[in-house]
Amino acid sequence: MQDLIRKIRGREARCGVIGLGYVGLPLALEFARAGMRAVGIDVDRRKVDAIRAGRSYVVDVSDGELAEQVRAGRLAATTDFAAIAELDTINICVPTPLRKTKDPDLTYVVAAVNEIAKHLRRGQLVILESTTYPGTTDEVVQPALEASGLRAGVDFGLAFSPERIDPGNPHFNTRNIPKVVGGVTAACTAAARALYEQSVETVVPVSSTRVAEMVKLLENTFRSVNIGLVNEMALMCNALDIDVWEVIEAAKTKPFGFMAFYPGPGLGGHCIPIDPFYLSWKAKMNGFEPRFIELAGHVNEGMPRFVVEKVTDALNGVAKSVRGSRIHCMGVAYKRGVNDLRESPALNVMRLLQAKGAVLSYSDPYIPAIREEGLALDALPARNGYLGGVDCVVILTDHAEFDYLALAGEAPLIVDTRNALQGCKADHIVRL
């Protein structure tokens, strides 16, 4: 690995990224910015074409910065896996979804690894970044790569480094979020560390791939469990007629031992609703029954139904039924400021309302259309005066672009699941 480390430090390494989504594209861009030659490989030709044209499809990457690296010849994209043979380092950033049964679906990882195995050569470094259960790197990736006849830690390097990006976060990005790395050997960790040190401010080495895999799952389980706790608090406060938002605001004045989490319509995105179940699956395979993960999942997955109950009660309060009511959803992306609809709880809220006979519409500056199981809708502009004509508005994502004051004055009935109308107390506003 010493030759590779020298090449990396000399910025002569050719760095490959497999999977150019929310994680892979910013990473490839950072490698290019660090002065190395980055090559992105994706099975999606549209993404490859967009990169070649200097067009970004990820919120945190601007067209300008992408085009600059492409023009300078530091960033290229291809659908051809033969490019792997020319690379020195290969980061895998493909999806790791769940099956319907909540079991890990490693299909994409295995497909990517099999392609690498075909072109693997001595001296290369392979790093898995996709979130997955502890043991994936040494139990799944390593044997598949060693089918090439080369040995991990001897002929090629192998490491795991969890991706921690937070899309839409204006303060933290690929460069300034510390990067945890764990290799199958100390030399593999050293090589992975050298690579990230070129483009990431802080690198945190750990003793093994399994520790690195578990770090990410602790972080995401921490979020899932705390969101589950605060969602249950919201349900309790609702039963006790206490304002949960006011409780949280006061609780967070405690300068130690408390961290504010907020209730909402449920969990979304490709991480928090999914990753803890990777851990849960692996724990069960080893005879351990995890309880926090399952309980938090249960509470969080029940939130869309609670929102629908709130909408039903609010309409009932003005002598209307859900059936036939025009219900407008404000914000459907899984969180503020992103164009990501994956696992968004808004979809379940909409499906449930539609099943009860509501006439749905929505607005979201980031999501022009919804074509998901059971839902086919095009976005309406956030403000064009029609909100006065609907029966109820449900705020599901608190995008900064919405004009909440105008909304409060215009809509006859509002169910606010995000406390977006904070401080705005009126009879026609119902909060979670």
Ligand X SMILES: NC(=O)c1ccc[n+]([C@@H]2O[C@H](COP(=O)([O-])OP(=O)(O)OC[C@H]3O[C@@H](n4cnc5c(N)ncnc54)[C@H](O)[C@@H]3O)[C@@H](O)[C@H]2O)c1
Give catalytic residues, as residue numbers: 271
Spell out the long-range contacts of 373-378 with Cβ–Cβ below 8 A and sequence spacing 24 or more.
Answer: 375/347, 375/350, 375/351, 377/350
CB nearer to ligand X: pick between 5 and 18: 18
- Residue 109 CB, nearest distance to ligand X (Å)? 8
Between CA 40 and CA 96 the distance in angstroms is 18
- Residue 82 CB, nearest distance to ligand X (Å)? 13
The residue number with the shortest CB distance to ligand X is 21
CB nearer to ligand X: pick between 34 and 271: 271
What SS3 state is found at 285? Answer: helix
Between CA 165 and CA 167 the distance in angstroms is 6
Backbone angles phi, psi at 48, to 5 degrees: -60, -45
CB nearer to ligand X: pick between 65 and 410: 65
CB nearer to ligand X: pick between 164 and 328: 164
Chain residues that interact with ligand X, rule: CB under 6 A: 18-24, 41-44, 47, 93-96, 108, 111-112, 130-131, 163-165, 167, 270-271
CB nearer to ligand X: pick between 124 and 312: 124
What SS3 state is found at 377? Answer: strand
What SS3 state is found at 326? Answer: strand
Token code pair at residue 330? 């404000």
- Residue 332 CB, nearest distance to ligand X (Å)? 17
Q: What is the CA radius of gyration of the chain?
A: 24
Q: Which residues contact 218 (CB under 8 A, 6 or more apart)?
A: none
Between CA 182 and CA 402 the distance in angstroms is 43
